[in-house]
Amino acid sequence: MKYIIILLLSVFTFVFVACDPEEEDPHIENPQETIALAGCDFETWTEFVQGEVTYDIPAGDWWDGLNYLSVIGGPITFEKTTDSYNGEYALRLETKTWGEDLTIPGILASGYFDPEQPIGENLIIGKPFTDKPLSLNGFLKYAPAENDTLVIFVALTKFDSNENIRDTIATGEYTYSGLIETYSPFTVPIEYTESINPDSVHVILLASVSGKEMRGHTGSVLIVDELSFTYE
């Protein structure tokens, strides 16, 4: 249990780690368009299998969450659903209880879960990205349990090789606490504090804001579809 708690506390501090800069980045050639993120329509999923554990994950090596915890008995907190805004599938996140007193919020992030990393550093958040969008957009439904709150968070970062630190140059956050029974559009404005271009993007979708304090409400469900960035 100590392993799990340390891992989750690290996840919810949103410490951003850049991925390999040699990976392909979604460079935008026409800045007048609204551009979809990789796998943003959640139409294509691949199957992860380890031993007797099986679950689906969005295809394209762009998104991941905490489903790998199911290998050691944890719950499945993200999955595909046919309750989509467009196409056949959408993303469904649900906050669940693990054991007697541990809450695992539904979370999906632009990154990957690496079980080979040290304890507490397994969810590597950040994908190569060099453009400067104005907003993150999409469509969602939300069914909160006990007045829970959803969070959609985006950040753009740049590694400073001189100082050996990662600087956050822009952020945006969307939160909502009420019931959304039918698909509704949302926009996350991105505010810049630096004029430089980023090298990484970080998108986090979270069904329970209080999950970062291990107090998410079991049963909160967030459904998201058709994510995109908008440019000036």
- The answer to the question of residue 111 being in a domain is yes
Looking at residue 215, what is its pLDDT? 58
With cut-offs at 50, 70 and 90, classify the pLDDT of residue 122.
confident
In the chain, the number of structural domains is 1
* Residue range 160-188, pLDDT digits in tens: 999 899 999 999 999 999 999 999 999 99
- The answer to the question of residue 61 being in a domain is yes
- The answer to the question of residue 126 being in a domain is yes
Six token digits for residue 227: 């994510």
Read off the CATH number of the domain in which 102 is found: 2.60.120.890
Mean pLDDT, residues 68-76 taken together: 91
Domain that holds residue 132: 2-20+30-230
- The answer to the question of residue 25 being in a domain is no
Mean pLDDT, residues 69-96 taken together: 95
* Residue range 131-163, pLDDT digits in tens: 999 999 999 999 999 889 999 999 999 999 998
79-83 LR contacts (CB < 8 Å, sep 24+): 79/55, 80/42, 80/45, 80/56, 81/223, 83/141, 83/223
Looking at residue 28, what is its pLDDT? 38
Rounded percentage of the chain residues whose pLDDT exceeds 90? 62
Count the helices and strands in the chain (H runs, E runs).
Answer: 1, 18
Q: Is 53 helix (H, G, I), strand (E, B) or coil?
A: strand
